[in-house]
């Protein structure tokens, strides 16, 4: 027992030393041997536990991200179980199978539509490269499923470090893709270097997903949890065609059975509503709402047919800090702190994306005594509202 504890402490010490070396400017090759010697024969799960311990000690997630390139260089052949296969990855419709199939699509885009330009920029038209980068935009769908479906279950099992680190790298890749597209017209060495870095990062992420993330998930998640992920994946879409509905071969019994109940009523100060009426009334609102309670736990979200941002039921019970990328989580935490202290009651943000003009509003929810109850998020596409001109009165319906 003491030997095991000492080994864990030693490995955490090595991780710190490797991070400090990278921070000081050493290359991946410089630290690769030190990392490999300390973690030879160690499962990916134990490495993630060591990283989680460092984060718990206060080491920033951004510093842990520096280890990602070292992981990718060392894991190929130096960690037991990392190439562990599971029949679930071969089952059509199973989320593990879909993840792998989508990775093959990303690899094909890189090989067929991006690398040819890198090999011979003079012969390959820039328009072809642009088309390839546009197709690579699909990785955002792939990453959103990972961040919103896989990560919540990992957190429930206490696996917190890998999701934070991986989400941070996902955002680095998104930024690299956006930057590459923004300098396409330059067609010079800067563009070439940016795209080379981009495809290296995407390729490394594919390796990490299949050889680090999936083994953890397959070892941890129950069949009914995989089934819920499969069912909710349609909320985000797919990079591959014809994803069949996965029907587990073993008898599938959800962990929480949804029992039929008689329609209840909700008594409110200004009226009484049947539960069904309340559910569909909230889902009919022309905007999306999400409520986070005073303990920072996501308690509710509306399910409109055309939500601005995808949301799945796996988010319920999740800490709100884990629902945001590492790069912006400190902003969310500060905003919540300002609401709790009474410094602020509202904050608005607005962004343009996907042809929409999105207004995101946050409100502190307080009772009659001013006690903080939680945060309400309201999201709406205001572009159609901004385009309204003139007048339309009720009497105009008679014409």
- pLDDT value of position 391: 87
Residue 398 buriedness (CB in 10 A; 0-12 / 13-18 / 19+):
exposed
- Segment 171-185, tens digit of pLDDT: 999 999 999 999 988
Residue 168's CB is within 10 A of a number of other CB atoms, namely 19
Return the CA Rg of the chain: 24
| Rounded Cα gap, residues 324 and 337, in angstroms | 16
With H, G, I as helix, E, B as strand and everything else as coil, classify residue 372.
strand
| Cβ-contact 64, 166 below 8 angstroms | no
| Cβ-contact 260, 251 below 8 angstroms | no
- pLDDT value of position 2: 43
Q: Which of 65-79, 139-153, 242-256, 319-333 has the lowest mean pLDDT?
A: 65-79
Range list of H helices, the chain: 2-23, 28-39, 44-56, 61-65, 68-78, 95-109, 115-119, 126-136, 139-145, 151-156, 161-182, 189-208, 214-220, 223-232, 275-284, 326-341, 383-386
Residue 68 reports pLDDT greater than 80: no
With H, G, I as helix, E, B as strand and everything else as coil, classify residue 260.
coil
- pLDDT value of position 65: 63
User: Phi, psi at residue 58, to the nearest 5°?
Assistant: 115, 0
For 72, 146, 379, the CA distances from 209, given in Å and listed in that order, are: 11, 9, 31
Locate 88 and state its tokens: 């679930």
- Segment 371-389, tens digit of pLDDT: 999 999 999 999 999 999 9
Mean pLDDT of 222-230: 91
Q: What b/e readout covers 182-192, taking b as 16+ CB neighbours within 10 angstroms?
A: eeeeeeeeebe
Distance of CA 388 to the CA centre of its chain: 35
DSSP string for 123-166: TS-HHHHHHHHHHHTTHHHHHHHIIIIIHHHHHHTT--HHHHHH
- pLDDT value of position 351: 92
Residue 259 reports pLDDT greater than 60: no
Sign of CA dihedral 42, 170, 172, 347: negative
Mean pLDDT of 187-198: 88
Locate 382 and state its tokens: 């205001």
Distance of CA 95 to the CA centre of its chain: 15
Residue 32 buriedness (CB in 10 A; 0-12 / 13-18 / 19+):
middle
Model pTM score: 0.66
Four-CA torsion 330, 331, 333, 335, nearest 10 degrees = 160
Residue 381's CB is within 10 A of a number of other CB atoms, namely 19
Structural domains in the chain, sorted by start: 2-78 (no CATH), 87-235 (1.20.120.520), 265-386 (3.30.450.20)
Residue 104 reports pLDDT greater than 90: yes
- Segment 121-140, tens digit of pLDDT: 888 888 899 999 999 999 99
Mean pLDDT of 157-186: 89
- pLDDT value of position 77: 45
In sequence order, the 6+-apart residues with CB closer than 8 A to the CB of 92 are 243, 244, 246
Mean pLDDT of 359-366: 96
| Rounded Cα gap, residues 295 and 375, in angstroms | 10
Mean pLDDT of 293-300: 94
Residue 289 reports pLDDT greater than 90: yes
DSSP state at residue 353: E
Tokens 């504890």 locate to 5
- pLDDT value of position 315: 86
Element spanning 301, H or E: strand 298-301
| Rounded Cα gap, residues 359 and 354, in angstroms | 13
- pLDDT value of position 278: 93
| Cβ-contact 300, 283 below 8 angstroms | no
Residue 399's CB is within 10 A of a number of other CB atoms, namely 4
| Rounded Cα gap, residues 92 and 80, in angstroms | 27
| Rounded Cα gap, residues 314 and 213, in angstroms | 18
Banded model confidence at residue 10, pLDDT cuts 50, 70, 90: confident
């Amino acid at each position: 027992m003491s030997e095991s504890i000492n080994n864990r402490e030693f490995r955490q010490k090595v991780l710190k030393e490797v991070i400090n070396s990278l921070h000081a400017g050493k290359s991946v090759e410089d630290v690769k041997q030190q990392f490999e010697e300390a973690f030879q024969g160690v499962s990916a799960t134990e490495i993630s536990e060591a990283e989680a311990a460092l984060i718990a000690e206060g080491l920033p997630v951004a510093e842990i991200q520096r280890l990602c390139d070292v992981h990718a260089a060392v894991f190929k052949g130096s960690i037991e179980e990392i190439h562990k296969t599971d029949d679930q990855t071969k089952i059509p419709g199973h989320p593990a199978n879909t993840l792998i199939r989508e990775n093959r699509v990303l690899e094909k885009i890189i090989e067929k539509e991006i690398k040819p330009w890198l090999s011979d920029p003079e012969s390959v038209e820039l328009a072809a490269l642009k088309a390839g980068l546009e197709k690579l935009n699909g990785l955002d769908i792939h990453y959103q499923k990972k961040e919103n479906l896989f990560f919540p279950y990992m957190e429930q099992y206490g696996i917190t470090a890998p999701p934070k680190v991986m989400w941070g790298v996902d955002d680095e890749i998104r930024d690299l893709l956006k930057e590459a597209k923004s300098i396409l017209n330059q067609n010079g060495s800067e563009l070439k270097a940016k795209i080379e870095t981009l495809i290296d990062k995407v390729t490394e992420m594919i390796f990490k997903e299949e050889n680090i993330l999936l083994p953890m998930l397959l070892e941890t998640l129950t069949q009914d949890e995989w089934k819920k992920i499969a069912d909710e994946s349609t909320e985000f879409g797919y990079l591959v065609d014809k994803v069949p509905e996965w029907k587990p071969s073993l008898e599938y019994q959800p962990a929480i059975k949804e029992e039929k109940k008689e329609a209840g009523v909700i008594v409110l100060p200004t009226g009484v509503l049947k539960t069904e009426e309340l559910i569909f009334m909230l889902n009919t609102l022309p905007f999306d709402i999400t409520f986070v309670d005073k303990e920072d736990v996501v308690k509710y979200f509306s399910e409109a047919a055309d939500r601005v941002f995808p949301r799945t039921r796996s988010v319920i019970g999740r800490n709100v800090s884990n629902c945001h990328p590492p790069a912006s989580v400190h902003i969310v935490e500060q905003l919540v702190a300002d609401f709790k202290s009474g410094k602020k009651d509202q904050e608005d943000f607005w962004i343009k994306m996907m042809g929409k003009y999105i207004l995101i509003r946050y409100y502190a929810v307080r009772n009659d005594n001013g006690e903080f109850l939680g945060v309400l998020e309201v999201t709406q596409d205001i572009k159609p509202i901004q385009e309204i001109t003139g007048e339309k009165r009720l009497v105009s319906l008679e014409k």
